[in-house]
Amino acid sequence: MRVDSGPFGGLPGPAGHPDILPHLDAAYDLARWLTGNDADAADVVQESCVRALRFASGYRGGNAKAWLLAIVRNTAMTWLERRRASAVATAPEQLEQVAPAVERIDDADELAHGIDQALLQRGIAALAPEFRAVLVLREFSELSYQDISTVAGIPIGTVMSRLARARMHLRAFLVAEREK
């Protein structure tokens, strides 16, 4: 075993391990969006880093950020299942009620204009975890569809479908809030 920069800034690790240190902010952001609070996100990231260190020998190269975020996503989903967190999703009948208003908005910038951060955060938090994860990975972590597919363990077509549905649910939520 040799000592090098290591995935955690100076800890010993096997040759060829991923350098995850530059991606810890993205890992925390994803965990925060999935768990809903800072303390739980920190716990998920800590557990994910332990898993990443433990399984670094299984890293086969490629995108270290996607590899780490896959571990974070899986850890967060396990965490959510253990706590039986109920996802708050927009009900289909609510979507039908706001569909005409959603259709009037052609430009995402038009929808986002004037929306405060707290409202946007509430909207994202209201998404079901599988939609929230894909949206956060694409819009905040700026991963490609292929990398999201790898992280989530789903086909690219499912990534595209979940992303479209997440955007539709978010848009419906924001429109409904604007009309209150």
For the chain, list the domains and their CATH numbers: 21-83 (1.10.1740.10), 92-178 (1.10.10.10)
Half-sphere exposure of 41 (CA within 13 A, CB side): 16
Which run of H or E residues covers position 93? helix 92-104
pLDDT, position 84: 59
State the Cα–Cα distance between residues 171 and 174, nearest whole angstrom.
5
Q: What is the pLDDT along the chain (180 residues), one digit of tens a residue?
A: 333 444 444 444 445 567 888 899 999 999 999 998 899 999 999 999 999 988 888 788 888 899 999 999 999 999 888 875 444 444 444 444 444 444 444 444 444 555 677 888 899 999 999 999 999 999 889 999 999 999 999 999 999 999 999 999 999 998 888 887
Q: Would you say 133 and 73 are in contact if contact means Cβ atoms under 8 Å apart?
A: yes
CB atoms within 10 A of CB 17: 20
Q: Residue 165: name the closest of 98, 90, 70, 107 by CA.
A: 90
Sequence-ordered alpha helix ranges (H) in 36-63:
38-54
Look up residue 23 and give its two tokens.
């991606």
pLDDT, position 95: 42
Q: Model's pTM, two decimal places?
A: 0.68
